[in-house]
Chain A
Amino acid sequence: MNFLSHLRPKGREASLGIILVLTMGVTGIINPRFLTGDGTRDLLSSTSIVALMAIGIAPVVIMRHIDLSISSTVGLSAWMVANLCAHHKNFSWWQCFVIAGLIGVAVGALNGILVAGLRLPALVVTLGTLYIVRGLVYVISNSVDYNAQEMPPSLLAIGHHVFLGLFPLTFILVLIMMLITAWFMKYRKPGRDCYAIGSNPPAADLVGIKVFRRTFLAYVFSGFMAGIAGVFYLIRFAQVDSTAFYGQELAVVAAVVIGGVTIAGGSGTTVGAVIGALLVQTIQGALAALGVDAFWKSAINGLLLIIAIWADRILARKSENALLAQRIKERA
Chain B
Amino acid sequence: MAQKGDLLLQMTGVQKRFGGAIALRGTDLSIRAGEIHALLGENGAGKSTMLKILAGVHENDGGTITLGNKPFQVGSPQASIEQGIAVIYQEPSLFLDLSLAENVFIGRQPIKGVGIDWKAAQDEAGKLFKELGVSLDPKRQARGLSIADQQVVEIAKALSMNAQIILMDEPTAALSASEVERLMTVMKNLKAANKAVIFVSHRLDEVFAISDYITVMRDGATVSQNPVANTNLQTVIKEMVGRELTELFPKTTHKIGDVVLEVKDLSNPAFFRNVSFNVRSGEIVALAGLVGSGRSEIARAIFGVDKYETGSVKVKGKELKKGSPVAAMEEKIALVPEDRRQQGLFMIAGVNRNISMESFPNLVNRIFINFKKERALTATWKEKLSIKFADASASVDHLSGGNQQKTVLAKWLATNPDLLIVDEPTRGIDVGTKAEVHRLIDAAAEEGKAILMISSELPEVLGMADRIIVMREGHQVTELTRAQATQENIIAAATTGKVA
Contacts and interface: CB of A to CB of B under 8 A. Distances in A.
A196 B94 CA distance: 9
A202 B77 CA distance: 14
Nearest to B178: A330
Contacts of A196: 95, 98, 106-107
Interface string A301-332: 00000000000000010011011101110111
Contacts of B102: 192
A209 interface: yes
A161 interface: no
A267 interface: yes
B393 interface: no
Interface stretch (A87-95, A181-189, A249-257): A181-189
B118 interface: yes
A322 B149 CA distance: 15
Contacts of B179: 330
- Indicate the member of A202, A209, A323 with the most B CB atoms within 10 Å: A323
Secondary structure type dominating chain B contacts: loop
A200 B93 contact: yes
B116 interface: yes
Contact of A189 (B94, B95, B116, B271): B116
Contacts of A323: 144, 146
B143 interface: yes
Contact of B97 (A183, A189, A267): A267
B116 A187 contact: yes
A213 interface: no
B96 A200 contact: yes
Contacts of A198: 97
A331 B270 contact: yes
A217 to B, nearest CB: 17
Given A323-B144, A331-B270, A331-B473, A202 B115 contact: no
Contact of B270 (A200, A319, A324): A324
B278 interface: no
Interface residues of A, number: 36
Interface string B262-291: 000000011101000000000000000000
B95 A200 contact: yes
A3 interface: yes
Nearest to B473: A331
Given A192-B102, A208-B78, A328 B93 contact: no
Interface residues of B, number: 29
B177 interface: yes
A327 B115 contact: no
Contacts of A186: 115-116
A207 B92 CA distance: 13
A186 B474 CA distance: 44
Nearest to A316: B143
B444 to A, nearest CB: 34
B184 to A, nearest CB: 15
Contacts of A319: 143-144
Nearest to A322: B144
Contacts of B98: 192, 195-196, 199, 266
A284 to B, nearest CB: 30
B176 interface: yes
A3 B178 CA distance: 40
Residue of A200, A202, A209, A319 with most chain B CB atoms under a 10 A cut-off: A200
B109 interface: yes
Contact of B107 (A199, A207, A330): A207
Nearest to A328: B269
Contact of B93 (A202, A267, A331): A202
A189 B98 CA distance: 13
Interface in B110-161: 114-116, 118, 143-144, 146
Contacts of A320: 144
A190 to B, nearest CB: 11
A265 B95 CA distance: 11
A188 B77 contact: no
Contacts of A324: 270
Nearest to A265: B97
Contacts of B77: 206
A188 B116 CA distance: 6
Nearest to B475: A331
- Most B Cβ at <10 Å: residue of A3, A320, A331, A332: A331
A300 interface: no
A187 B113 CA distance: 11
Given A322-B144, A323-B146, A266 B107 contact: no
A132 interface: no
Given A208-B107, A324-B270, A330-B176, A266 B95 contact: yes
Contacts of B473: 331
A266 B176 contact: no
B176 A207 contact: no
Contacts of B269: 328, 331-332
A315 B115 CA distance: 31
A331 B175 CA distance: 10
Interface in B211-249: none
Interface in A170-196: 183, 186-189, 192-193, 195-196
17 contacts: A3-B115, A186-B116, A187-B114, A187-B116, A192-B102, A199-B96, A199-B98, A202-B93, A203-B95, A207-B106, A209-B107, A319-B143, A322-B144, A328-B269, A331-B473, A331-B474, A332-B269
Closest 9 CB pairs of A and B: A187-B115, A266-B97, A330-B176, A319-B144, A199-B95, A199-B97, A203-B93, A328-B269, A267-B97
